Structure 1
Amino acid sequence: MLERLSWKRLLSELGLACVPALIVGLLWGGLPWLLLVAVLAVLFWHFYNLMRLSHWLWIDRTMTPPSGRGSWEPQFYGLYQMQLRNRRRRRELGNLIKRFRSGAESLPDAVVLTTEEGTIFWCNGLAQQYLGLRWPEDNGQNILNLLRYPEFSRYIRQRDFNKPLTLVLNNQHHMEFRVMPYSEGQWLMVARDVTQMHQLEGARRNFFANVSHELRTPLTVLQGYLEMMNDSVMNERSRGKALQTMQEQTRRMNSLVKQLLTLSRIEAAPAIDLKETVNVPMMLHLLQREAETLSNGRHEIHFHTDPHLNVFGNDEQLRSAISNLVYNAINHTPDGTRIDISWLRDRQGAHFTVCDNGPGISAEHLPRLTERFYRVDKARSRTTGGSGLGLAIVKHALSHHNSRLDITSEPHKKTCFTFTLAPRLIVTAGMQENAVH
């Protein structure tokens, strides 16, 4: 077992070298010279090991120190143990840094490490994606030279980081910046993408504004007629007209509330279990009667249905999606329009299409048709009782069935609303027989 070097060991080594010289000198003479030679031999031994140590420290590239004898053995062994501890510590620090960087890469936020002067010395992948930084090319660059926004520069220079800074970048992302001390002389900057939050807030404001606007018109009509009935005596014809108008407005408000509740219920519904068998042909058979009644002979309606094409899904949501598409075609196309409704199977799956040869829809309106309360012709929609919620209901109902609504239109030629359910949702003949038994 090696022990640390002590004075006792050094003196014992010196004694071992001098005792033979002392004995020989006492027996044959020349004691001083023999003692001098012994001391010089000990010094030469120490100088020799010092040179070996210096050679290993400055010239030799090996990781293991040279082996030693005597008092130098614990020194070289101690250096070797210290080297092992340093290696282990470096590995631990390296693993710690790797874990930190791995954790920072896993964060849903952009992370940038800078000095107090703003010099970047690390950033994660999202910082490169959102903020346009490049790593390691931007190592050592000042962040104010890379993010050239006056609000951001003032925020950094004022060093008042109690409140976050929200900034709209050139890529139209809304970023929320927070800066906090990381270590001595260093800052940790976290940038979070709050674009969706701003969009949701805008959608919420628009939703309440649209609902208020939609309800204000029928309520104003009802209030006006009620005041007329209260302030003056109305003849039978005027009273009948007023009652008919109020009933129409009441039905319109009732329809709007029902659609809002339907949309809210579909949006709030959790992921549905697509194991319920939906008899779409029977649904379309009943819907055909309703469509013909609603049209009252004003349109040429044709249904093309595969009588054996049933699917897995949610009956209520698919009924809402299909009925809204059919009713929209009837309500928003002029008299004499041909409407073709098809429910057929193709290579992509179960294919539902509603096509008409009406006036069509301009290309600029197509991307926004599924937005809540969006209407191409607001005046006509109010005349027909449209609320602008039907296609929003269709969109969310189809999303629960892993499908989406495709809209194509050629003005004055053809307009088609289409969705496809995946082949895995089609009920095969064998499944139908098992369900019957």
Structure 2
Amino acid sequence: MLQPFSWMVLAGRLALFYLPFIVVGLLTGEVLLLLLVATGVLLFWHYNNQKKLADWLWHDRSMIPPSGKGSWEIVFNGIYKMQKRNRVRRKELANVIRRFREGAEALPDAAVVYKTDGSIIWCNRLAEAILGFRWPEDSGQHIGNLIRTPVFIEYMQGRDFSEPLEIVSPVDAEKLLELRIMPYTSGQNMLVARDVTLIRQLESMRRNFVSSVSHELRTPLTVLKGYLEMLEDVPDANQGMMGKAHHVMAEQTTRMDSLVEQLLTLSRIEATPDVSLDERVDVPAMLNIIEAEAVALSGDKQHGFSFNIATELFACGDSDQLRSAISNLVYNAVYYTPAEGNIVVSWQPCREGAEFYVQDDGPGIAPEHLSRLTERFYRVDKARSRETGGSGLGLSIVKHALSHHQSELLIDSEPNQGSRFGFVLPSQFVSTD
């Protein structure tokens, strides 16, 4: 067991070392000379141990420390223990890095770790395949020198990575990549690139299919509606079984015509992601027309309507899309609110811009359905939706129309407590002139 190093121990060892020299010096009368000799011996011993330490640290690859006496034995063994701990830590760190790289290589996406100044630290093999990187040759290269797409350079310089970026692959012009950048560690970011070519192709095919089928259905539906209207003028055509069949066919034809119209509306909205802000939309006039339509749609249900409209509050954007969003919310309230229920429609200024909402005292919606209401063809109660003629496309249209105006659908509903559907238009989409 080594004696711990302390000033008391050091002073005691120095005293024991110098004592024989002092005694001999007193006996011979050469105290200063012997003290000088003792100091020289002590310095030689220290420098000799320093050389041992330097040789061990810089030249000797052995883990075994050199032999030493006194305080140098403590120093040698202390450094030895420190090196041993550091080797264990380096080994653990190397295992962590190895596991991380193995995990990153197993990812289905390309991953690139780079410093905030843009210099690349590491990338996986998939980044080499779809981004054209080379590892380790590109270590330290600026990421903008390897992905030279102007929109990516602007994306990097903007430092707003809240939304992903889609670019053409630098190595294959037929591939579309979705890039996401997120903080990794202090002073580092991670870029994740995913090949979304097939997904975008499927989305395009779906939109084209829906649009094509909807257009193709309009012609036979128009013919059917025309003949059904002609049958209304035929004597005795509306009696008995023929009358019942005529009524069902007319009802279902109207329902299918409405579904086709909504499919076409949704296709048009999806096909025009860029909305012109130059068009001034007279929302109060639009709501006056929708109010009259809602009262007519209510019919025998005799709903109580309350329209609170700021008459000098206008919007900027696409009038067709805004009308689709507003009318769908109002008509849904009419469809699903029980007879003699109350419906409140509001269009008022707010701190963020302008707020629109429709509130009813209908049956409400259970929490588990709220997150899926904007999915295409999703209906809370399918049987009830068939009775009311619901297609499950209305809220999907609202969602897409609002996204083009930098807004989103806000839903507040509880079972037996009614529902409130609305949105807030940002100030840049609002006009009071």
TM-score under structure 2 length normalisation: 0.49
Q: Based on CA coordinates, which of the two structures has the bigger radius of gyration?
A: 1
